A = this chain, B = another copy of it.
């Protein structure tokens, strides 16, 4: 009874429009230098002459943006236990400096056991030109109503 959304409160078909986030070239390069240092992510000069015609964001960076939008838009109000994983994660178009990414989530399945529920969702993000840049299905475990240990103080 902590006011958070539990597995009991979700159903297949529930849809949430997420917020948006814009990536600068500096952010794309800085993320990739740490986690995905391939030249087409980290070297604007080299990338300008390469296949993509400029740096593109690491797919991991793109997924991190989607996760952040999900936290801000849904998980911060859900009684989450942990994420289980992603299925059919596809980087469907390059993410370039200055792109503004906007996401959406549709619940596709909720299955309940004694204390927990497994929630499956289809997710996508698109850029300012309505080009889809990533699609995936994500599975997360939530507490059922009355079972959340959640954060102390909740």
A residues in contact (CB < 8 Å) with B? 34-40, 43, 45-47, 49-52, 56, 58-60, 63-65, 67-68, 71, 75-76, 80-91, 94, 136, 149-153
| Smallest beta-carbon distance A121→chain B, Å | 14
The listed residue with most B CB atoms (<10 A of its CB), out of A35, A49, A149, is A35
Partner of A83, one of B59, B64, B71: B59
Say yes or no: A67 contacts B58, CB within 8 Å. Answer: yes
Which residues of B have CB within 8 Å of A82?
40, 51-52, 56, 91, 94
Contacts of A71 in B (CB 8 A): 36-38
A-B contact pairs, 13 of them (CB 8 A): A34-B64, A35-B67, A36-B67, A37-B68, A45-B152, A47-B151, A49-B152, A50-B150, A51-B81, A84-B91, A85-B90, A85-B91, A89-B89
CA distance A84 to B151 in the complex (A): 37
Contact of A46 among B46, B52, B76, B151 (CB under 8 A): B151
